[in-house]
Structure 1
Amino acid sequence: MDAKKELMERLAAMMPSMEGELRWVLEGYCITKEPVRERSNLKKRITAFLTAKKIDGLSPKTLKNYREMLMGFQSQVDKHVTKISTDDIRGYIGYLADERHLKDSSINTHINTLRSFFSWLDMEDIIKKNPMRKIKSLKIDRIKARRPLSPEELEQLRDGCRSYKEKALVEFLVSSGCRLSEVAGIQVDRVDWQSRSVVVVGKGHKERTVYFSVRAKLMLQEYLSLRKGGCALFSSSRSPYLPMSPRAIEKAVQRVGERTAGSRRIHPHLMRHTFATNALHGGMDITVIQHLLGHSDPKTTLIYAELRPDAVKYAYERVIA
């Protein structure tokens, strides 16, 4: 049925007494029907994707990160998922770099999230062509990005501490090799001060024992003796003295780093790399380091621990020369 005839019939059904007049008025008009536009279903698909990943067993933290990144994508590219093109995604990556000024490592996290989302859409036969197929991750100098703190940088970081709380944080992180989430979960009554050890809960809810240095013990005990309250090893400074969140610990370490002379960004994960490298440099067996870090694969430990040239030379001269 042509558009004009369809319109005439619909109007006549609404106003049957005026059918003759309507036909006379529309006689000289050429009428075309506007195509129905597909509404965006991106938000709905994102929700379905997150539900599927929750069923697959992804952690609440990972799901939260996925949601935030995908909703950010939806706010910029709000199209029907079948209409989203590779150019749309390239434009969004450009937006992340040029307008949000994200680092390459952060942009890669967004790219990986989009890759996971569109792969799921493809696997579910929701889209016929995956627009992420031609999108590659940005190349990052992993060695430079993971470079541990040098002895000089570590001393500068110590000099940047203004309180025993900051000193305790820095010393515990760099001598235990704990993950940020593990540190946030430690209770004071779980610490064995005699053996300078504590049981932490790592990835996959696996428990392991970690150790800390004499220097860290002294700083921790001084910090605990001065603070007003709290059950966690690191608590907030205000009542009701709740445990510091991972984000709060991260900010505290970052503030200390900003006071030092260097321009390098300091974060807890960097302290973990430094611990691993110092342990390897000091002659600790790689399997022991693997256990202390809570790695299931020794290859991961080798990524964390950087064997410095001076350590290689020392080992050669001790055994060969």
Structure 2
Amino acid sequence: MASIKLVLRTQQEDGTGQSPIYIRLIKDRKAKFVTTGVKAKASEWDDEKQRLKKNYPNSARMNAFLTQKVADAQAQVADVERTRKSVSARKLKEAIKGKEDPNFFNYCDRRLEKIKSIVSYRTADIYNIYIKKFEKFIGHRDFYFSDINTTLVGDYANYCKKTLKNGNTTTHMSLKILRIFYNDAMKEELIPYAVSPFEKVKIPKSNVERQYLNKQQLEDLENLDLSQKPHAVVHRDMFLFSVYAGGLRISDVLLLQWKSYNEETKKITKVIQKTQKQHTFKIGTKAVEIINKYKPKNSNPDAFIFPVLENPERIFGDEQFKSLKLRGKIRLGDVHLDKMGEEIKLPFKLHFHLSRHTFATNALNNGMRIEYVSKLLDHSSIRQTQVYAKIVSEELDNAVDNFIF
């Protein structure tokens, strides 16, 4: 038999000192809460009698309203329990509200299918990975939006950090993806619009030091003898091309076709893999020299500039195939780059993404305006680019400390 009572949830107190009054339903030791739409201050509520005190405005009328709410809830619960041998607290809550509580994982599955035509395959795949990660934490799929609260979100954050040994950045992303789907459900009016429980759990972002190659290290990489390693030569050229072509992401370097490059204007025009937006920019002399190394006498406009990927028709016609191929080629290239980094004695692990850091930091060091760097990196906000400006500023501080006396 389920128990029902009115409670003032003071942990949800708002800026005016008022807290919401809920109908609390307990079945098989599981509690569910249904809002009454009424708020009161702690000093205006009698918890023992489950009534508003006389100091509450129009207390008699409001108490009559709350009494009716409880009576209606008890009647709904009695009807359901009478017609069903076994019923959960969630189902009883649905009966009281008169509205179905959506299954969280089923909603995420449907939502993922919808957004696949909007975001890249890789982005949708990442979303799915994080949803499956949360499902593993819950342990089953019989999980509903009403089951999500601040305590559960906090427990999941602790699970990510302590059990999975995730850093702050990964834990933050784990919650961020869930918050996106939760907020989407509110926008679709599938669940009541309220402050998301994800907003109340704050995970500080880790201050990860961004590595990059300085001018001397870049020169060492360019001069490294790879005559016996032809595949490594291509991966080095792709890394250097990215550095000298505005920090173009490695996935876009791999997918770069001859038809995307205008030899006369020295400009590249292509749809960026991550953002799916068209990006046009001019490349520098060193980037042009690298491209010219791979130009055949009779080039096919659809062919890839760097001889790593094949079959452009299938690559661009099958998003899943493209994603798998890109990941495999990037991993292989990172293996070669790591060995090169060891040979030139870099104090950090060399991989493709450092080409973007290298371009941005050196461009700012050379005096390029941050707005231009941001545009070339295809950042959605200049705030993303300011991370590199901070690195340059810190280097300047160190220079002052070391050389001015």
Superposition TM-score, scaled by structure 2 size: 0.55
Aligned length: 279
Ranges in structure 1 where 5+ consecutive residues have no aligned partner = 2-32, 316-321
CA distance in 1, matches of 2:310, 2:379: 35
Percent of aligned positions with the same letter in both sequences?
A: 22
User: What is the DSSP-based 3-state SS (H/G/I as helix, E as strand, rest coil) of the residue aligned with 2:198?
Assistant: coil
Q: Report what 1:5 is aligned to.
A: none
Q: 1:188 to 1:51 in 2, by over 3 A?
A: closer
Shift of residue 113, structure 1, vs aligned partner: 0.7
Q: Report what 1:250 is aligned to.
A: 330
Q: Residues 105 and 143 of structure 2 are in contact (CA less than 8 Å); yes or no, is this contact kept in structure 1?
A: no
CA distance in 2, matches of 1:299, 1:160: 39
Q: Report what 1:96 is aligned to.
A: 160
Q: 1:277 to 1:83 in 2, by over 3 A?
A: same
Ranges in structure 2 where 5+ consecutive residues have no aligned partner = 2-83, 92-101, 316-321, 401-405
Aligned pairs for 1:215-230 within 5 A: 216-222=287-293
Shift of residue 251, structure 1, vs aligned partner: 1.7
Q: Residues 165 and 223 of structure 1 are in contact (CA less than 8 Å); yes or no, is this contact kept in structure 2?
A: no
Structure 2 residue 112 is the aligned partner of structure 1 residue 50 = yes
Q: 1:119 aligns with which of 171, 178, 183?
A: 183
Structure 2 residue 358 is the aligned partner of structure 1 residue 294 = no
Q: Residues 208 and 294 of structure 1 are in contact (CA less than 8 Å); yes or no, is this contact kept in structure 2?
A: no
Structure number with greater CO (CA < 8 Å, separation at least 6) is 1
CA distance in 2, matches of 1:149, 1:58: 32
Aligned pairs for 1:109-258 within 5 A: 109-122=173-186, 124=189, 126=191, 130-141=196-207, 144=209, 146-155=210-219, 157-158=221-222, 159=224, 162-163=229-230, 164-176=233-245, 177-193=247-263, 196-202=266-272, 203-214=275-286, 216-222=287-293, 231-236=303-308, 245-258=325-338
Aligned partner letter, 2:143: H
User: What is the DSSP-based 3-state SS (H/G/I as helix, E as strand, rest coil) of the residue aligned with 2:268?
Assistant: strand
Q: 1:241 to 1:156 in 2, by over 3 A?
A: farther
Higher helix share: 1
Shift of residue 296, structure 1, vs aligned partner: 5.5
Q: CA RMSD in A?
A: 4.1
Q: Which runs of 4+ in 1 moved over 6 A?
A: 237-244, 312-315
Q: Residues 97 and 103 of structure 1 are in contact (CA less than 8 Å); yes or no, is this contact kept in structure 2?
A: yes
Higher strand share: 2
Shift of residue 307, structure 1, vs aligned partner: 2.2
CA distance in 2, matches of 1:194, 1:313: 43
Structure 2 residue 392 is the aligned partner of structure 1 residue 307 = yes
Q: Report what 1:319 is aligned to.
A: none
CA distance in 1, matches of 2:271, 2:364: 24
Q: 1:68 to 1:222 in 2, by over 3 A?
A: same
Q: Residues 235 and 242 of structure 1 are in contact (CA less than 8 Å); yes or no, is this contact kept in structure 2?
A: no
User: What is the DSSP-based 3-state SS (H/G/I as helix, E as strand, rest coil) of the residue aligned with 1:199?
Assistant: strand
| Structure 1 residues 18-56: Cα deviation after superposition (integer angstroms, max 9, x where no partner) | xxxxxxxxxxxxxxx97424599332121244356569x
Shift of residue 304, structure 1, vs aligned partner: 4.0
CA distance in 1, matches of 2:329, 2:267: 20
User: What is the DSSP-based 3-state SS (H/G/I as helix, E as strand, rest coil) of the residue aligned with 2:392?
Assistant: coil
CA distance in 1, matches of 2:278, 2:312: 29
Q: 1:295 to 1:218 in 2, by over 3 A?
A: same
Q: Report what 2:369 is aligned to.
A: 285
